Every structure is written in C-alpha cells, then in structure tokens.
Amino acid sequence: MRDLMWGIRSLLRRRLRTVLTMLGIAVSAALLLDMVMLSGGIEKSFAELLTARGYQIRLSPKGTLPFDTEATLGDVRTTIGRLRAIPAVAEAGAVLGTSVYGRRADSLVTLVGYGIQPDAQGLYRLESGSDIAQHDTLAVLLSRPAAELLHAGLGDTLTLLGRLDPQTVAGTISRDVVVRGFVSWVYDYRGQPSVGTTLPVMQRLAGGAGDRASLILVKARNDADAPALTARLRQDFPGLEVYSVADLVRFFKQRLVYFRQLSYILGTMSLIVSVLLISTLLTITVNERLGEIATLRAIGIARATVIRQVLIEGALLTIFGGVLGMMLGVITARYLDSILTSFPGLPAAFSFFVPRPESIVTAAMVVLVTGGLAGLYPAWLAARAPIAATLRSDAP
C-alpha cells in the first residue's frame, strides 16, 4: 500500500503530463481493441450470419460459391428428395435468386427475387403478417425497402414481372400476387428491395427454365454431425459443390485477408506507441527524482523497493489509460462499423467490429503486459543510480 501511495503522489506532481500520457495510452489502447475486434470479428460475424437460420451446409453448381454467379443447378426435386432421405439431414430446401420487376403505377421497379420452399427456408425472419404456405402460388413476402418502393401494404395485390421485352419494355411473364407478410432477409444489404415467392412461381418468372435453383440449404440434425454430413454429401453429389460453414468462412477470410493484415499492423503500432509513452514519462520522472531516489537508498531503502515503486507507477498509468481506452475503443468501433458496413453489397446483418468479452479481455491483457514491460528500463535506471555521486551532484 505504501508503494501504491508513492506512485500516486509521483503521478500527481506533474498532473498535466500525467493526463496527457494517459490520454495517449487511451488512444493506443482503443486502437488496439478495435484491431483485435476487427481481426477476429469479421470471420465470427460471417459464421454467425451463415448459421443465422441453422443451416450449416450449402450445395451450389460445380465450380461456384453460393450466389457468387448466376449459374443454377438442375433437377432440384430429385436432389431435395435424396437429401431428405438421409437420416442425418433435418431439413433441405432450394433457393432461386433472380431479378424481377414490380409494377408501380406506370413504371417498373427492379427487385431482387427469391424463390423458396417455405417448409425449409433459411433466408428470412417474419416481421409482421403471415408466412406463405408451400403451395400458395398467389402469395409474396416483401422486405421493408421493397414495400416502400411499391407503396404496398399487407393484403395488397401486386404484379410481378419476369423477363422484359427490350423493345416494348414490358414483361413477357407476369404474375399477380398478394402481400402476405413483411420479412427481414438475412443476406440482404441495407436498403435492398427484395421479394419472395414459392419456388415454382419464381422459376416461372425467371423464364420457365425448368426445375432449377441457385443453391440448396441443408440443416444437419446436430451441429456435431455437420462435418461428417458434408463429407458424405460430397461423395453422394460429385456434380455439385458442397460447402460447410467452415469452408465458406475460409474462402471469405482469403478474400478479406488485407483486413487482418491491416489489424495486425495498426495493433502493433499502437503497442509501440504505448511503450514509448510510458517509458518516456517514467524515464523523465526518474531523472527528475534521482536525488530523492539516492536519498532513499542512502537511508536504507532497498533497491527492490525502488524498482517496485517505479513499476507500480507505470502500472497505474497503464490501468487508468487502458480503462479509458477500452471505453473509447467500443465507441469508435461502433462508428467505424457503421461506415464499413455501409459499403454496397454487404449484408446488413454483417459486422466488421464485434465487441465480444474475449476481445476486450485480450486487448486489456496485452495493454497491461505492454505497460509492465515499458516500465522495466526506467526501473533499472532508478535502481542503478550511484548514491554518492548523485547526492554530491544535487548538493548546493
């Protein structure tokens, strides 16, 4: 306790210097926390997004990633039947993604269309209204942006059009549907106008290309069974690409590897800044107080006590600055996340900075260790000060 009070008094002697140093440490700690959240938050957020509805496996056309191209897979009914016959499969449902058009007064609105199998869907959450039934060919689900564009409410009848005739700018295929509900589509970007109907209706609007889909979602009965089920499906369906969530996260990490590199570089720089700030302040403090330290040593204060007092002073700077930095890091992470997630094409539910307890603990521990290491040189400088020579130089 005596060493702690000595450290506090030492810091209070130069209050402005102490405050500025703590602010510098806080900024460095905030940057470190943000980089820790960025390095691990991207893949965790993406994995949570993929499993938001519990589907751990995706089947897509050979040589493609899910929804990465406009390629489709055929003979969907047969494939779904084979999947549902596997004991380890809890649910399997096909999805067709395409562009459709909605009629609004005398104009057309471009929409993203999803053809789904309502009894096995992993694309949306119902917000209001009612869900559509498996064989309801007159129902449609809208995202809020789509409802605003079409000026549509629950129970309204809409006209959806498929392929447009380039000469007449009119739809060659159309279908009148009734708005059953408003939904939040899991993978939509902010403001995306999306509509969903049963798979046969969307297949017809897409040009009547037959029994085709963009991908198939598969849910294992248990999460632990997903890896083994993925391996089996690759053997049973060699003509399709079979991806587990772990596979898709790995591909995603490869595409965004520069974010991880950026987080490592900036995180390292923040640690270097913290070390320099703490070491500089403590070195200046020790040099200013060499006479006092020599006097304490002369009256019998042990060298270990002097070292401990300097290290405690550095620890206090690190703790107060680090706590302030953790709070500042969470605030700045939210602001930075709002900027990055506003980029076009990113799902609205995706996050770059994820404030998890383990991220905060990791950043805090790194800051504390760094602060402790930064105080080693000033402590060594204080311990090796020559008593006699220092007292003579300070004598009047």
DSSP state of 347: B
CB 179 within 8 A of CB 140: yes
Say whether 189 sits in a helix, a strand or coil. strand
> pTM value?
0.70
Other CB atoms within 10 Å distance of the CB of residue 264: 13
Q: How many CA atoms lie within 13 A of 38 on its CB side?
A: 26
**Which CA distances in Å does 308 have to 62, 198, 315?**
65, 72, 10
**Which CA distances in Å does 140 have to 19, 98, 118, 134, 151?**
60, 15, 11, 12, 14
Tens-digit pLDDT string for the chain (396 aa): 665 666 666 666 777 777 877 788 888 888 888 887 777 677 777 777 777 677 888 998 888 877 777 788 888 899 999 999 999 999 998 999 888 888 877 778 889 999 999 888 888 889 999 989 888 888 999 999 999 988 888 988 988 888 765 544 455 678 889 999 999 988 888 888 999 999 988 988 887 657 888 889 999 888 888 889 999 999 999 989 898 888 887 777 776 677 777 777 877 887 787 777 777 777 777 676 666 666 666 776 677 777 777 777 777 878 888 888 888 888 888 888 887 777 766 676 777 777 777 777 888 888 888 777 777 777 777 677 665 555 555 555
Alpha carbon distance 79, 351 (integer Å): 34
- pLDDT score at 269: 81
In the numeric block, the tokens 């009848």 are attached to: 157
**Phi/psi at 82 (nearest 5 deg)?**
-65, -40
Alpha carbon distance 161, 143 (integer Å): 17
In the numeric block, the tokens 């990791």 are attached to: 362
As a whole number of angstroms, the longest Cα–Cα distance in the chain is: 102
* Amino acid letter for position 324: L
CB 182 within 8 A of CB 147: yes
CB 265 within 8 A of CB 364: no
* Amino acid letter for position 396: P
- pLDDT score at 289: 66
Ranges assigned E (strand) in the chain: 57-61, 73-74, 89-104, 107-116, 124-129, 139-142, 157-161, 164-165, 170-171, 174-185, 194-198, 212-213, 215-220, 240-244
* Amino acid letter for position 361: V
**Which CA distances in Å does 253 have to 47, 96, 190, 249?**
11, 26, 22, 6
- pLDDT score at 363: 81
